[in-house]
Chain A
């Protein structure tokens, strides 16, 4: 059963590291929460825990759409002309492929898009860059549609937000957290234990990845 990873980790650490976590102690709870969140995302990426979707409303004459910051890797992009019936799967292509399809492919319009390409690494957030440009991750569809109506794109992707049960928290996340906290504890005896906890984390992480990759067959296949 899924648990709140921040709460579960904090409870486990309070048991294993008595009198070290809380107000006025070596580790503030807010720090544990923030660190747990980022560590859990690392685990979610490596083990490919959760696939989810992002629905994007199509816009008239628009080819480029922003991806969410929790997107790690796109698995599939689908198109629904009516906004609900996803009956078209877009093919993943490179910009060079698009050049071969049409020299001025950015100007092409059609009834629905047939292919997509990606800029930047999925998950890079939207931040304004220089010269009015950007670095954030987007998908560019081809051809764009002149009149989008209620059409939507659905991006199926590997998510950075994982789902954790108690066993995963205890076996994978807690050892990693302890490795980090021990390494920075300032106590030499504790610091010496950091690599041991890290090794424990690596082993548990591999086991989890193997278990999950059997569970989610779609993570093994790639388009293109």
Chain B
């Protein structure tokens, strides 16, 4: 189902003529559709966006607005990078910002510039790479093609396309739009939306038997506990 097809269903459910809606305009419906989809992505982390690009010496990776959380970063030459915090880097090496070599870790740069459009969160490598390398990043993301998605398949598995329909109907019925406002219908579709999002969360989490996300980087230090087996049998 494309975004346009979903919008047609939504308008008809609202009692509108999809060709000439009287109460709601395209902008409103598409805004609510995006909102429903983004909320589902944030709650379930069902999308992993990935791409492979070159990383210039000493450069940074500026994360786009679609990013929820970086889950994995690897380089062609050295495989997976470990996440680390700047706090740990300070503890390890007081001159860590100037340290260059073969990168082994990545960290989120907490220092952001201000101003509209210039405050992207950035990922940096430690030690800083002294030559261009190729990297591949995986991050949980919001739907990445909002400009084109009305014409393309909704960025959801087909079994849960109704997430967009229920989420939009819940928002449309709750909107202060005169005679179309219907709190009972908004609550009903809100409940259906929540239930379907929960189903998606279940499917997203068990796509593999194990979790492959990084978790909390600050908790991944080597400790003496790592060398013991998880269970010690009785003698």
CA distance A42 to B72 in the complex (A): 31
Task: Give the number of residues in A that approach B within 8 Å (Cβ atoms).
Answer: 61
Least distance between B46 CB and chain A CB atoms (Å): 4
Flag whether B210 is at the interface (Cβ < 8 A): yes
A42 touches which one: B48, B149, B159 (CB < 8 A)? B159
Q: Mark B140-166, 1 if CB is under 8 A from A, else 0.
A: 010111001100111111111110010
CA distance A222 to B202 in the complex (A): 14
Q: Are A224 and B207 in contact (CB under 8 A)?
A: no
Q: In the complex, which residue of chain A has the Cβ closest to the Cβ of B165?
A: A38
Q: Are B9 and A121 in contact (CB under 8 A)?
A: no
B50 touches which one: A122, A127, A133, A198 (CB < 8 A)? A133
Contacts of A76-96 to chain B: CB distance below 8 A: 92-96
Contacts of A99-142 to chain B: CB distance below 8 A: 99, 103-106, 117-125, 127-135, 137
With contact pairs A117-B208, A184-B14, A191-B184 given, residues A124 and B157 touching in the complex (Cβ less than 8 Å): yes
Q: Are B155 and A125 in contact (CB under 8 A)?
A: yes
Flag whether B124 is at the interface (Cβ < 8 A): no
Q: Are B204 and A121 in contact (CB under 8 A)?
A: yes
Q: Mark A193-224, 1 if CB is under 8 A from B, else 0.
A: 01100100000000000000000000000111
Of A14-22, A27-35, A146-154, A166-174, the stretch lying at the interface with chain B is A27-35
Q: Are B9 and A92 in contact (CB under 8 A)?
A: no
Flag whether A61 is at the interface (Cβ < 8 A): no
Q: Are A134 and B5 in contact (CB under 8 A)?
A: no
With contact pairs A42-B160, A191-B184, A224-B209 given, residues A119 and B48 touching in the complex (Cβ less than 8 Å): yes
Q: Mark B201-222, 1 if CB is under 8 A from A, else 0.
A: 0011011111110000000000
Task: Give the number of residues in B that approach A within 8 Å (Cβ atoms).
Answer: 62
A122 touches which one: B1, B76, B203, B209 (CB < 8 A)? B203
Contacts of A42-64 to chain B: CB distance below 8 A: 42, 44-46
Q: Are A122 and B145 in contact (CB under 8 A)?
A: no
Query: How many residue pairs bridge A and B at CB < 8 Å?
Result: 171
Least distance between A57 CB and chain B CB atoms (Å): 23
Flag whether B78 is at the interface (Cβ < 8 A): yes
Flag whether A155 is at the interface (Cβ < 8 A): no
Flag whether B53 is at the interface (Cβ < 8 A): yes
With contact pairs A124-B46, A130-B144, A184-B185 given, residues A103 and B157 touching in the complex (Cβ less than 8 Å): no
Residues of B within 8 A of A26 (CB): 15
Least distance between B202 CB and chain A CB atoms (Å): 9
Residues of A within 8 A of B78 (CB): 103-104
Residues of A within 8 A of B80 (CB): 95, 99, 103
Chain B interfacial positions (CB closer than 8 Å to A): 1, 5, 8-9, 12-15, 44, 46-53, 64, 66, 72, 74, 76, 78-80, 138, 141, 143-145, 148-149, 152-162, 165, 169, 182, 184-185, 188-189, 196, 199-200, 203-204, 206-212
Q: List 26 A-B contacts (CB under 8 A).
A: A31-B9, A35-B9, A42-B196, A73-B203, A95-B212, A97-B210, A99-B80, A103-B78, A104-B78, A117-B208, A117-B212, A119-B50, A121-B46, A121-B200, A121-B204, A123-B157, A127-B148, A127-B153, A128-B145, A129-B144, A130-B64, A130-B66, A135-B48, A135-B141, A160-B159, A183-B189
